[in-house]
Each structure stands twice: as C-alpha cells, then as structure tokens.
Amino acid sequence: MAKKKTKSKKSISKKPVKKPVKKIVKKPIKKVDDASDIIYIWEIVSLEAHGEKGTIEHIIYELIGIVGKGAKRRTASTTAALSVSYDLKDPYSTTDYKVFSKQQLLTYIQSKVSDKYIGVLKDNVKEQLFPSKKIITKFSWNQ
C-alpha cells in the first residue's frame, strides 16, 4: 500500500474585517425656560414733582421680566410707586429731579424698597410668565 501524501496546512493569517462604525450624534437637549431664567430690568415710568421746586414726590417704576431669546422671547412687567418723603437729609426729596441720572434714581428705588416687596414684584412677573393656572376657553360642548 502506498502511503498517501498529506498536505500540510499553511497557517493563513486572516485580516481583521473592519466593521462600519456607527456614530452616535448627541443632539443638545432643548432646555425649557423656567423661573430661574428670568432676567429682571428696572425702568422708571414717570416722576411726580412739586411745582416750581421740581423736588420728587413719587417715582413710578416698573420691574420687567424677560425670558427666552429671539422669537421665543417673552416679557412681563409689574408697576409700582415709591413715595419720597420730605427729609432735609435726603437729597432726593430736597433737590430738583433734573440733577439725578436714571441710574441714580434706580439705585435710590432699590435701596428704599424692601426685599420682601421686591420678592412680591418678582412673583407677580413670574406668575405672568409661568402661570400656575390654566385658562380654558374652548369646551367640547361648544364645537
């Protein structure tokens, strides 16, 4: 009997197959505006002054709240008044209003209004921007 020749197997190195890489694109999560995003701005609406003296009697001011940007920007405001009592030591009650800048008057208002009242004003603006109650005007029985 003749011996069969056996073929020796050569080791074949396999090339690694490159698998397609799936890229995961993370889309930024759109943040919903909330009360912590409100930017507050103080504005002077008007002044009530004493006749010829021009001394300030009342300062009517507005606290404006702004939230969002661009087309999604929303604003709300609340108005209040500050009475300026006559006091010789207080230049705002004894000097013509024309000598004060807008920033000086805004600083004066903020120094005279209590923190508690500022909180109330901010709560009013916040309620306008983010109402806690939903007003329903369309009812199923009206269709």
Is the CB of residue 43 less than 8 Å from the CB of residue 64?
A: yes
d(CA 55, CA 6): 117
* Per-residue pLDDT, 135: 77
- Residues near 92 by Cβ (< 8 Å), separated by ≥ 6? 56, 84, 100, 105, 108
Average pLDDT (111-131) is: 92
Shortest CA distance to 43 belongs to which of 62, 67, 60, 65?
Answer: 62
CA-wise closest residue to 65 among 77, 73, 48: 77
Cβ(125)–Cβ(63) under 8 Å?
yes
User: 99 and 108 in contact (C-beta within 8 Å)?
Assistant: no
| pLDDT at site 99 | 94
| 24 vs 101, more confident | 101
The amino acid that residue 95 corresponds to is T
pLDDT digits (tens, 9 = 90+) for 47-76: 999 888 889 999 999 999 999 888 888 999
User: Average pLDDT over the chain, rounded to whole?
Assistant: 85
Residue 121, classed as helix, strand or coil, is helix
Backbone angles phi, psi at 126, to 5 degrees: -60, -40
Which of 2-11, 96-105, 125-134 comes out lowest in average pLDDT?
2-11
Tell me the C-alpha distance between 77 and 64, whole Å: 4
Q: What is the mean pLDDT of residues 97-121?
A: 94
The confidence score (pLDDT) of residue 13 equals 66
What's the rounded Cα separation, in Å, for the pair 109 and 5? 107
pLDDT on residue 21: 74
Residue 9: its pLDDT value, please? 62
